[in-house]
Amino acid sequence: MSAEQLPKDFLWGGAVAAHQVEGGWDQGGKGVSICDVLSGGAHGVDRVITDGVQPGVSYPNHQAVEFYSHYKQDIALFAEMGFKCFRTSIAWTRIFPNGDELEPNEAGLQFYDDLFDELLKYNIEPVITLSHFEMPHHLVKQYGGWLNRKVVDFFVRYSEVVMKRYQSKVKYWMTFNEINNQRNWQYPLFGYCCSGVIFIDHDKPEQAMYQTLHHQFVASAKVVKLGHEINPNFKIGCMLALVPIYPWSCHPDDVMFAQEAMRECHLFGDVQLRGYYPSYILKEWARKGYQIDMQPEDGQTLREGCTDYLGFSYYMSSAVQLSAKGQKKEDAITGFDGGVKNPHVKASEWGWQIDPVGLRYTLNSFYERYQKPMFIVENGFGAVDKAEADGSINDDYRIEYLKAHIDQMKKAVVEDGVELMGYTPWGCIDCVSFTTGQYNKRYGFIHVDKHDDGTGTFKRSKKKSFDWYKKVIASNGAEL
């Protein structure tokens, strides 16, 4: 690698999740997942978690964008862009429809065999998330979700089956997607989708959140160790939603407040990448009187199951001000107490603060903390795309966003020395938004003709950003 270039083996690609693209929610023996009972929503209109699948309710994830039946066409388009990798998830309920079966569903296993074979035909490496908000609904109803330690064994069984099955086809794995979203325990959507638990229904919601997380940390560590036994060449990462938190001012109180807020991100990396609970969280638990049930062997399990790399999503930064603590502010959309609008950055239509330099800052901050490879597995710009009279979509705003972030990413690697594995922009093909359940909040290089009112043909077409990203990949990031 020259002083001005990214590594030649840099993994350019795109990212999705099974529940946001596949559809086929009841095909091939698939069971009901937690996202199958999420209604549609909108900006400012929460998605509703229903008690099972209810008649007359719109569930956008049931169809999504029909990747289940269109994947060959879509992968051909990914190959045309020059993808080196493609990040998706395995839908847990395709493999174990209820989650507690002893034997897997062969039809589900065969689907992912076919999917991975199609990717490898074009020399596209699968990057696979084992749990991306797709927990079997049965495990929620019957066991109470991840608050029940029995779910650890169910997840390890599922992970063992797929890692053995695909050991010659998949090299890159991640355990839990954005596991740290659960710190927003006040919002049912995040806890429910991460772990099948609505924390506000519990007497001690925050304690319940930490107990749930402990079970997931143990499960992740067990799976990492098991995966390395199945294939020592596996690269198994954790995956965090990273939002750098700046102090609103240089007042020492704001600076200290920002540092404390960042612990809400650091905790999840500290446990999964270092293998132990940091002192600050142990002090917090003692101060609050929390009792987290742990087995005697859990400490050793965490130490033996550290992940190989840090995969993360980056969309925005946040700023906090001590004097705003406890106040609800309309522009504080990242879930951090005391969040305030940063006057130095722009924001998207959904209020997400656009901060390319924050990506470089994040890469440096976390690489210096953990000294392990990093992988940007989500980054992108959600917008309402408008088609021209001829049907074309000139998404220059998306190109501008991605160009600025890739430029800062390159500086982190070339100038700062961060070890970065790859870059997979989120929603490389239009998909259902996780937070709002919308189709019209689009991220893709590929447009899918499907709309929030239920209309659409699912026809695929290229946006202006398609050819732009193709050029970026062909030049290994030299041409932006």
Predicted confidence (pLDDT) per residue in 239-293, tens digit? 999 999 999 999 999 999 999 999 989 999 999 999 999 999 999 999 999 999 9
Q: Is residue 1 part of a domain?
A: no
- Measured CA to CA in angstroms, residue 223 lies from 236, 265, 271 at distances of 9, 22, 14
Which pLDDT belongs to residue 332?
40
In this structure, what token pair is assigned to residue 91? 């839908």
Percent of the chain as helix, strand, coil, to the nearest 5: 40, 15, 45
Task: Tally the domains of the chain.
Answer: 1
Residue 4 domain flag: no
Angstrom distance (rounded) from CA 46 to CA 358: 28
Alpha-carbon gap, residue 366 to 364, rounded angstroms = 6
Per-residue confidence (pLDDT) for residue 351, from 0 to 100: 76
Number of helical (H) and strand (E) elements in the chain, helices listed first = 14, 15
Q: Which of 418, 375, 394, 403 is nearest to 471 (CA)?
A: 403
Q: Give CA–CA dist 193/98, Å, rounded.
A: 16
The dihedral of CA 29, 31, 37, 40: what is its sign? Answer: negative
Point out the catalytic residue in the list 378, 388, 415, 419.
Answer: 378
Which neighbouring-strand residues pair with 185?
none
CB 431 within 8 A of CB 380: no
Residue count of the chain, please give it.
480
- Its pTM stands at 0.96
Segments forming the whole domain that contains residue 316: 11-474
Show the CA angle centred on residue 374, arms to residues 371 and 378, nearest 5°: 155
Nearest CA to 32 out of 215, 209, 219, 196 is that of: 196
Active site residue 378: yes
In three-state secondary structure terms, 173 is: strand
Residue 330: its pLDDT value, please?
41
C-alpha dist (Å) from residue 85 to 14, 78, 110, 345, 446: 7, 9, 20, 31, 16
Residue with tokens 């398609």: 466
DSSP H or E run through 12: strand 11-15
Domain assignment present for residue 362? The answer is yes
Please, are residues 42 and 451 in contact by the beta-carbon 8 Å criterion?
no
Dihedral of alpha carbons 302, 209, 32, 134, sign: negative
The predicted structure's pLDDT at residue 328: 54
Q: In b/e form, how buried is each residue of 422-453, taking b as 16+ CB within 10 angstroms?
A: bbbbbbbbbbbbbbbbbbbbbbbbbbbbbebe
Would you say residue 305 lies in a domain? yes
* CATH code of 166's domain: 3.20.20.80
Give domain status of residue 376, yes or no: yes
Are the CB atoms for 299 and 276 separated by under 8 Å?
Answer: yes
What's the pLDDT at 144? 98
Listed residue (26, 22, 40) closest to 438, CA to CA: 40
d(C-alpha 256, C-alpha 96), whole Å: 46
Cβ neighbours of residue 447 closer than 8 Å, sequence gap 6 or more: 385, 387, 393, 430, 460, 461, 462, 463
Instruction: Give me the pLDDT at residue 334, please.
Output: 53
The answer to whether residue 102 sits within a structural domain is: yes
Does residue 263 fall inside a structural domain?
yes
Tell me the sheet residues that pair with 318. Answer: 245
Please, what is the end-to-end C-alpha distance for the chain in angstroms?
19
Cα within 13 Å of Cα(69), Cβ side: 12
What count of Cα atoms within 13 Å lies in the side-chain half-sphere of residue 404?
17
- Is residue 335 a part of any domain in this protein? yes
Looking at the DSSP bridge assignments, the partners of residue 374 are: 310, 420
Q: Let me know: does 169 contact 97? Beta carbons within 8 Å.
A: no
CB 425 within 8 A of CB 15: yes
The residue ranges of the chain whose pLDDT is under 50 are 1-2, 329-333
Q: How far is CA 235 from CA 172, 208, 310, 392, in A?
A: 5, 31, 10, 39
- Selection from 244, 306, 296, 246 nearest residue 275 by Cα: 306
DSSP letter string over 328-355? --TT--S--TTEE--TTSEE-TT--EE-
Give one DSSP letter per residue of 446-459, joined into a string.
EEE---TTS-----
Give Dmax (Cα) for the chain: 66
Q: Do the beta carbons of residue 465 and residue 427 sit within 8 Å?
A: no
Q: What local confidence, expressed as pLDDT, does residue 323 receive?
A: 87
